[in-house]
Structure 1
Amino acid sequence: MTTPGHLDWSLLQAFVAVMRDGSLSAAALKLRLTQPTVGRQIRALEEAVGEALFDRTPQGLRPTDRATALFDHAAALEQAAQALGTAMGGKLDSPTGTVRITTSESFGVERLPGLLQPFMEANPGITIEMLASTQVENLLRRDADIAIRFARPEQPDLVARQVGTMELGFFAAESYLTRYGVPETLAELRNHRMVGFDRDPFARRAAERLALPVETWRAVYRSDSMIGQHTAVRAGLGIGVMHAHRDAPAQGLRRLLTAEFAPKQPIWLVAHADVRQGRRFRAVFDHLAAVLPAEFGGR
C-alpha cells in the first residue's frame, strides 16, 4: 500500500474529477487524458487506500462512503495547489480573463478563430473578444488589447512585431470575365465594373499608397466590409482588390494583371506596451506571434 506521504498527486486529481463529473469519460475530458488512463489512476488510488472508492453499477460509478469522506480533503488539496500556482506566478495554472483582439473583418471572421482554437483548448480560462476594425487608435484608447494590422504603427506607446506579409491582387469571377472580357492593363480598368470601398478612410489612404487611380474607376458596388466586397466579386458584380490566396480558382475567381499589380503588405502584431505585462495578454500575444508567420509566409 502506498503511504500518504508518497501518494501521487495525479491520482487525487483523477479522483476529484470523477467525483465532480460522475464518470471516467467526463473526468478524462476535463483532464485531457484518455478514459483508460483515468481508470488506471482510480484503481491505483483504491490500491493505495486499501479499498474500493466507487461501486461499478449499470448506471455508472457510485461513490462509496469512504470516497465521500475523502473528497473534501482531496478538494482542499486541489485548491491549495491552485493557490500555490498563483503565488508562484502562475506556473501551475493557465491564465484567465478576457483579451480583446482587433483586426480586419475578413481575417477576424475567416482565419483568426482557427488559429486561436488550439490555444483556447489549452487555456480554457481565456475569453477572446474580436473587434473588426482597421483603426490603430483602438489600442491607444484601450478599446482593444492586441491588434493584427496591415501597416506599421508609429505611435511610441505601441510595440509591434512583423509576422509576415500578405500579397494583394485584382480578382474577378470567371462569369464576369465571360461577360465583360479580361483587362490587359491597369489603364483598362476604367472601362470595367469595379468593386471597392465606400467611406473607410484607411482604405482610401491605402489606395493612395498603392497609387491606385480609384477616382477614375466605375465602382458599381461599394462596401467598407471586406467580406461584402469578396462576396460581390465572387457573385460576378465586378473586379476587386483581394488578398491573394491559393483557393481563388476553387471559388471561381481568376487573378488579373499579376505583372502590373502584386504589392505585398507587411503584417504587424501590435499591443500597447503596458498591456503586454499582463499574463493573459502576454500569453495570447506570444501564441499569435508563433502562429501568424506560418499563416502569412514569414517576413
Structure 2
Amino acid sequence: MTTPRHLDWSLLQAFVLVMRTGSLSAAAIQLKLTQPTVGRQIRTLEEAVGEALFDRTPQGLRPTDRAQALFDHALGLEQAAQALATAMAGKLDSPTGTVRVTTSEPFAVERLPVLLNPFMEANPGITIEMLASNQVENLLRRDADIAIRFARPEQPDLVARQVGMMELGVFAQEGYLARHGEPQTLAELAQHRMVGFDRDPFARRVAERLALPVESWRVVYRSDSMVGQHAAVRAGLGIGVMQVAVGERAGLRRLMQAEFAPKQAVWLVAHADVRQGRRFRAVFDHLAAVLPGEFRG
C-alpha cells in the first residue's frame, strides 16, 4: 500500500469522481481528461491499495466494499483541499465545492432550480449535482449528500428535518373529461383511461400504501418518469395521480377531492457531513428555509 506521504492527489480526485458519477467517461469530462487517462489513474490506485476498487459490469462500474470504505476518507481530503484553495484565494467567507442533491423528478425539474437560483447567485463557488430520481437514495452510501424525501428516513445516523406536507390528488385535462365524462368515485376510475407507472417498484409500493386499486385500472399510457406521466395527463391521454401543486400549476381539473386527498410529510435529509462541511451546511440551511413555503400541505 502506498504510504500517505507518497499518495498522489490526482488519483484520489479521479476515484472520488468515478464514485460519484459511476463511470470513467463522466469523471473524465469533469476532470477535462480522456477516459483512458482516468482508467489508468483508477488502475494505479487499485495497485496501490492492493485490490480492485470497482467491479466491471455491463451496467457500469460498481464500487466494491473496499471502495465504499475509502470513499469517506477521500471526501475528507477533497474537502480539506477545497478549504485550502479557498483560503489561498482569500475567500474564506464563501463556501466552495460540489453538493449532490436528490429529489423526485417533478420537483427537481419544475421547482428546485427556481428555489436554488438566489442561493447559487450568492454562492458562486458551489456546484450542485442534481440526481432527479423517484428512488430512495441511500445517503449512508453517499449516492447523494442531501435528499428531499416524501417518506421519513429509516436510517438513524442521518440528519433529518420535516419541512412541510405534500398533498396528492387525481387530475385530468378538461378535453379528456369532455370526451369521456368525469368519474365521481375511485371505483369508477376502472372504466376510464388511466396514466400510470410502468415497472417502478417504488411507485408500486406507494400505490399500495395509498390503497389505490391500480391493478383494476385500464392504464393506456405507462411511464416510470413522473414528468412523462404528467405530460400525458396534460395532453389528455388519461387520468393520473400527482402532487396537487403540480396539477394546479398545469391547469388540470382535480377530481374526487373529498375521497382522495392523502398527505405525506416532506423531509430534508442529509449525510452526517452536513454538520461539518460548510458547503453542505450552506445548501442544507438554504433548503430548510425555502422548502416550508413550497409544502404547506
TM-score bucket (shorter structure): 0.5 to 0.7
CA contact (8 A) 1:174 1:252 kept: no
Report what 1:95 is aligned to.
Answer: 95
Q: For residue 200 of structure 1, report the CA deviation from its aligned partner.
A: 1.2
Letter in 2 for 1:276: R
User: Could you say which residue in structure 2 is the equivalent of 1:228?
Assistant: 228
Q: Which residue of 2 aligns with 1:199?
A: 199
The 5-angstrom pairing of residues 171-210 of structure 1 reads 171-210=171-210
Aligned length: 214
Secondary structure of the equivalent of 1:265?
A: strand
Which runs of structure 2 are paired with 1:24-43 in the superposition (5 Å)? none
Residues 149, 270 of structure 1: 8 Å contact kept = yes
SS at match of 1:137: coil
The Cα shift of 1:101 comes to 0.2
* Counterpart position of 2:21: none
Is the 8 Å Cα contact of residues 171 and 241 (structure 1) preserved in structure 2?
yes
Q: What residue is the counterpart of 2:54 in the other structure? A: none
Aligned to 1:261: 260
Q: 1:153 to 1:281 in 2, by over 3 A?
A: same
- Distance in 1 of aligned mates of 2:267 and 2:209: 17
Q: 1:135 to 1:256 in 2, by over 3 A?
A: same
5 Å-filtered alignment, 1:271-282, equals 271-282=270-281
SS of residue matched to 2:124: coil
Q: Distance in 1 between matches of 2:166 and 2:174?
A: 23
Amino acid at match of 1:237: L
Which deviations, in whole Å up to 9, do the C-alpha atoms of 1:238-268 show, x marking residues without a partner? 00001112873x7442100001000111110
Residue 107 (structure 1) aligns with: 107
Q: Deviations over 1:83-124 (max 9, x none)?
A: 8x949xx99521000000000111001100110111111111
Q: Distance in 2 between matches of 1:91 and 1:98?
A: 16
Is the 1:221–1:232 contact (alpha carbons within 8 Å) kept by the matching residues of 2? yes
Deviates more, 1:270-279 or 1:102-111: 270-279
Q: Cα deviations across residues 159-200 of structure 1 (Å, max 9, x unaligned)?
A: 210000111000000110011100011110000010011111
Q: Would you say the 8 A contact 1:148–1:268 is kept in 2?
A: yes
Q: CA RMSD in A?
A: 2.3
One-letter identity of the residue aligned with 1:188:
E
**Equivalent position SS for 1:135:** coil
- TM-score, structure 2 as length reference: 0.68
The structure 1 segments of at least 4 consecutive aligned residues displaced by more than 3 Å after TM superposition are none
Does the 8 Å contact 1:196/1:229 carry over to 2? Answer: yes
Residue 224 (structure 1) shift: 0.9
Contact 1:172 1:236 in 2 (8 A): yes
Secondary structure, counterpart of 1:185 in structure 2: coil
Q: Aligned AA for 2:123?
A: N
- Check conservation: 2:100, 2:129, Cα contact below 8 A: yes
CA contact (8 A) 2:273 2:280 kept: no
> What letter corresponds to residue 259 of structure 1 in structure 2?
A
Partners of 2:195 and 2:258 lie apart in 1 by 21
- Verify: 1:242 aligned to 2:242, yes or no: yes
- What is the TM-score normalised by the length of structure 1? 0.67
Is 1:160 the counterpart of 2:160? The answer is yes
1:137: how far off?
A: 3.5
Q: Percent identity?
A: 81
8 Å CA contact 2:102, 2:137 repeated in 1: no
Equivalent residue for 1:76? none
Note the residue ranges of structure 1 that are not aligned, 5 or more in a row.
1-81
